[in-house]
A and B are shown apart, each in its own frame.
Chain A
Amino acid sequence: MTIQAMILKMSEGLGRTLSIFGLTLLFSLPLGLVVAFLRMSKIKPVRAIAKVYISILRGTPLMLQLLVVAYGPFYLFGMGVSRNKLVPIIIGFSLNYAAYFAEIYRGGIESMSIGQYEAAAVLGYSRMQTFMRIILPQVIKRILPSVTNEVITLVKDTSMAFTLAYQEMFSIGKQIANSTTSFMPFVIAGVFYYIMNMVVAVGMSKIENSMNYYR
């Protein structure tokens, strides 16, 4: 098998890699905000539940979580295992990344000075207006570097989908490596991931720069 053929074959899985990446971000970013709010709730049991959620999802391997989401329903409730692997993958990834994002959001929100809330309150902003217009934009600016870290990790973590035999780029690469006893597919995979993360890094730094108009 030529290198070109390998690259071609592996790129067929790139779409799937990118769907895991994109869909996970789409769901985990807002979900993380919800978890962050629960974690900061005034109601103690709510706070405790969010704390346990974050603790478990950060404290156990993503690979294990993917297996639980995919096969848990079968072992626990005797439900059939879905043939569609993308759904459990996105659920697993989103739940996992939401836990990390939640803590990033919380750090950002708690770093805001109380004066911003008070100024908004005196000017008559409602709590929702205060959060959406005054707090959140500043929080986003502050947390962007940490979010970039997570997004970069996510690009590499998509390879974890092989656990559920999902044919994304890295899974295909491994199969080629096995059948051809060549090391080349791993090199190709490495280059693919590296390029994707270059794009992520450039994109994120563009976003960061776009917020540099204030301090």
Chain B
Amino acid sequence: MNILEIRHCRKRFDQNEVLKDISLTVEQGKVVSIIGPSGSGKSTLLRCATLLEKMDGGELIYIGKKAVWEENGRMVSASASDMKDIRGCFGLVFQNFNLFPHYSVMKNITEAPILIQKRERDEVFETAKTLLRKMGLEDRGDAYPYQLSGGQQQRVSIARALALRPKMLFFDEPTSALDPELTGEILKVIRDLAMEHMTMVIVTHEMAFARDVSDHVIFMDEGVIVEEGAPNEIINHPTQQRTIQFLSRFN
């Protein structure tokens, strides 16, 4: 089953064409990594997929349900109630965490499930506790984000996304704001999620990690997919000149 389908996505900022006809499919349980230089459009693609940015062309489909599509040259969105369901399909982990600083760790995780999904308070708190334990933060539920290290904050933000029971998770350079020592702990969490067959799309600069954890790797440059395929092929044996040139800087 396909959780996410992006077809012929186009996006421009003024005269600058950031995404030129990008198509991408993510099957349930698969991990897709997107790599590429800064300004290649990979973050914009993620922002389009998570509805933070409006696509200028193409289609966006979650579990067979169209979220955004083109009709007579104009972009249309699903109805508000369909949109709500669609938003519930995915979670997004930001580069700079974006935790709510005025909420405790526990409230950061539990508010949306209680408020938006109208789930039982007790059940949500149990879920949150389980997630915190999984993140190695079982005793930090009452802490505020400023009291945590960057790595801990990012783990809370992953727990916050997971608490809503999404069908898939997006990661937008989840370790770029962390020092190398803390990077490892986040990569481990993502690895564990991959082992549990969580469907994920990860924008990352960690090449070794992308190779190890992904089922599929996409290399983007200047708004197009230059090369994609099995992780080992793309990262260890790229065929396109641009990919070879980009990856040579990492070895």
Given contact pairs A119-B100, A137-B102, A214-B145, A124 touches B111 in the complex (Cβ within 8 A)? no
Inter-chain contact B146/A215, CB cutoff 8 Å: yes
Inter-chain contact B92/A122, CB cutoff 8 Å: yes
Inter-chain contact B50/A214, CB cutoff 8 Å: no
Inter-chain contact B111/A133, CB cutoff 8 Å: yes
Inter-chain contact B87/A124, CB cutoff 8 Å: yes
Inter-chain contact A214/B112, CB cutoff 8 Å: no
Within 8 A of B (CB), among A108-151: 113, 115-116, 118-125, 129, 133-134, 137-138, 141
Inter-chain contact A125/B116, CB cutoff 8 Å: yes
Closest A residue to B170 using CB positions:
A122
Partner of B101, one of A120, A125, A214: A214
Interface flags for B38-73 (1: CB within 8 Å of A; 0: not) read 000000000000111000000000000000000000
When distances are taken between beta carbons in the complex, the residues of chain A under 8 Å from B52 are 118, 121-122
Inter-chain contact A134/B100, CB cutoff 8 Å: yes
A77 close to B (CB within 8 Å): no
Bound Cα distance from A137 to B90, whole angstroms: 27
The number of residues on chain B lying at the interface, defined by a beta carbon within 8 Å of a beta carbon of chain A, is 28
**Dominant SS at the A interface?**
helix
CB distance from B159 to the nearest CB of A (A): 12
Interface flags for B109-120 (1: CB within 8 Å of A; 0: not) read 001100111000
When distances are taken between beta carbons in the complex, the residues of chain A under 8 Å from B94 are 115, 118-119
When distances are taken between beta carbons in the complex, the residues of chain A under 8 Å from B161 are 122-123
Inter-chain contact A123/B116, CB cutoff 8 Å: yes
Closest A residue to B157 using CB positions:
A119
Inter-chain contact B100/A141, CB cutoff 8 Å: no
Partner of A122, one of B91, B99, B102, B117: B91
Partner of A115, one of B90, B98, B102: B98
Interface flags for B204-238 (1: CB within 8 Å of A; 0: not) read 00000000000000000000000000000000000
Within 8 A of A (CB), among B68-124: 84, 87-88, 90-92, 94, 96, 98-102, 111-112, 115-117
B160 close to A (CB within 8 Å): yes
When distances are taken between beta carbons in the complex, the residues of chain A under 8 Å from B116 are 123-125, 129
Within 8 A of B (CB), among A192-215: 213-215
Bound Cα distance from A137 to B84, whole angstroms: 25
Bound Cα distance from A210 to B116, whole angstroms: 28
CB distance from A136 to the nearest CB of B (A): 10
Bound Cα distance from A144 to B116, whole angstroms: 30
Given contact pairs A124-B84, A124-B87, A214-B146, A116 touches B100 in the complex (Cβ within 8 A)? yes
6 A-B pairs within 8 Å (CB atoms) are namely A113-B98, A118-B98, A119-B94, A122-B90, A122-B161, A129-B116
15 new A-B pairs (CB below 8 Å) besides A120-B100, A133-B111?
A: A115-B94, A119-B99, A122-B91, A123-B112, A123-B116, A124-B116, A124-B164, A125-B116, A129-B115, A129-B116, A133-B115, A137-B102, A215-B101, A215-B144, A215-B146
